[in-house]
Structure 1
Amino acid sequence: MKNADEYKYAKARKKVENIKKFYKHVVTYLIVNLFLTFVWKFSFKIFGNFILSNQYDSDGFKHIPFWLIWGIFLIFDAFRTYDVITIFGKDWEERKMKEFMK
């Protein structure tokens, strides 16, 4: 019974750590993008005519905003953190570890 409790505790601890990392990611996203949008006007080309920019004028954003691209990654991070969508399934890691231990 002790092993089961230790396992549950370790799993819960890992979940809390992942949630904590996600919250840090959200705070970083907000601070950096507020800074980039209102303080530092930047623009850079990635390839071809694809330009990331946080430059805002009366017509709106001139190019694809940096916060939009990062926000998409933030959404995927939220899905991973809260197990909304899991690519490999909930217990994929455990099954792989058992497979490698054999």
Structure 2
Amino acid sequence: MENLNNKKLMKAKLKVEELKEFYKHIVTYVLVNLFLTFIWKFSFKLFGNFIISNQFDNGNFTHIPIWLIWGVFLMLHAFKTFDFLNLFGRDWEERKIDKFMKE
């Protein structure tokens, strides 16, 4: 029984650490993108005519905003943190072992 409680405590601590990292990621995302949008004007070529930038190009779709690219990674981080896509999550091995043990 004590072993089960220790295991639950460790999982809870790990989940809290994941949440803290995700919240830090959100704050960093907002602050850096605000800085890039209002202070620092930059751009660099990605490939071909596509340019990563914090500036808009009047609808020509040659500038890819950095907040969009980073936002995709932030969304994936959210999926992982909040178990939206729990295909091979931490408990996957345990669930599979339990399933095979019952068979």
SS in 2 for 1:30: helix
Stretches (4+) displaced over 6 A: none
Shift of 1:86: 2.2
Cα deviation, 1:13-65, whole Å, max 9, x if unaligned, reads 000000000000000000000000110011001221221000147x4786110
In structure 2, the residue matched to 1:44 is: 44
- AA partner of residue 47 (structure 1): F
| C-alpha RMSD over aligned residues | 2.2
Matches for 1:3-18 after TM superposition, within 5 Å? 3-18=3-18
Name the residue aligned to 1:64: 64
TM-score of the aligned structures, taking structure 1 as reference length: 0.82
Unaligned 5+ segments in structure 1 are: 97-102
Cross-structure match for 2:91: 91
8 A Cα contact 2:50 2:62, kept in partner: no
Change in Cα spacing, 1:32 to 1:93, as seen in structure 2 (3 Å) is: farther
What letter corresponds to residue 19 of structure 1 in structure 2? L
| Matched position secondary structure for 1:67 | helix
Change (3 A) 1:46 1:62: closer
Secondary structure of the equivalent of 2:52?
strand
- SS of the aligned residue for 2:63 comes to coil
2 CA distance for matches of 1:17 and 1:72? 21
**Structure 1 vs Structure 2: percent identity of aligned residues?**
65
Q: Secondary structure at the match of 2:45?
A: strand
Deviations 1:53-91 (CA, angstroms, capped at 9, x unpaired) = 00147x478611000000011001001000011241452
Equivalent in the alignment of 1:100: none
